[in-house]
Amino acid sequence: MGDFERFASTWFDQNGEMGLLHAMNKIRIPFVLNSINCDDHGLDVGTGGGLVPLTLAAQKINIEGLDSEQALIDIARKEAIDRNLSILYHCHPVETFTPIAQYDFITCFEMLEHVDNPKLVCERLVSWLKPGGWLFISTINRSLAAYISAIVLAEYIFKWLPYKTHSFEKFITPEELIQYLEPCVCKDIRGMIFNPLESSKFFLGESLSINYIGAWQKPKSTID
């Protein structure tokens, strides 16, 4: 069983173990919509139960989902049917997936900190993107603040996340991520600040010390 397959049946419980993903989604989606066009065609990588594609598809955005865990793809497909949304889902690892055509935009949220080779994943994402296309990624910084917040507090003390959700050594600094995504250019990068006292729980801020989200653009082709 994969790292997140065990949460398939409760993926859409906003008060359950995936509750923080639902809270993050409230700021991730506007961040994406700020840069894309309504007729763009996108892919959500590491889609899980399909939260991001479902939210974007409800706003008439053409988006597909990719995940390596069949149980999660199954729950994502069922949820799309229940909501009367047309979303194409692919069950493949990033390493073996080959898209039919390049995408206008790609989202990859809270996934890179769970893979063994994030540089390879980033290279694949860049290759799937059209010239001039957008890549949106959120992940966790490898910092003392992130260790205390995302592991000690979130997993051990307050149990906002299941135990051993994260491994500190897999966290990625913004500088590393910018390097992994070359030749894409970072156009915007913000901290996703958690505030348990607010109903929205997350807001965008300047500090990148814990969770952060960025928008990268692939250089446009020089050929007319």
Spans of all domains in the chain:
5-217
- CATH fold for domain 5-217: Rossmann fold (3.40.50)
Quote the pLDDT of residue 5: 65
Q: Which residue intervals of the chain are DSSP H helices?
A: 19-33, 51-57, 70-82, 118-127, 144-146, 174-180
Rounded Cα distance, 126 and 108, in Å: 11
What is the mean pLDDT, run by run of 10 residues, along the chain of 224 residues? 63 81 93 96 97 97 97 96 97 96 98 96 98 98 93 77 84 98 98 80 94 97 50
Query: What is the model's pTM?
Result: 0.92
- Which of 47, 48, 51, 45 is CA-nearest to residue 14? 51
Quote the pLDDT of residue 199: 62
State in Å, rounded, how far the first CA of the chain is from the last one. Answer: 48
Rounded Cα distance, 165 and 183, in Å: 31
Q: What are phi and psi of 181, to 5 degrees?
A: -95, 5
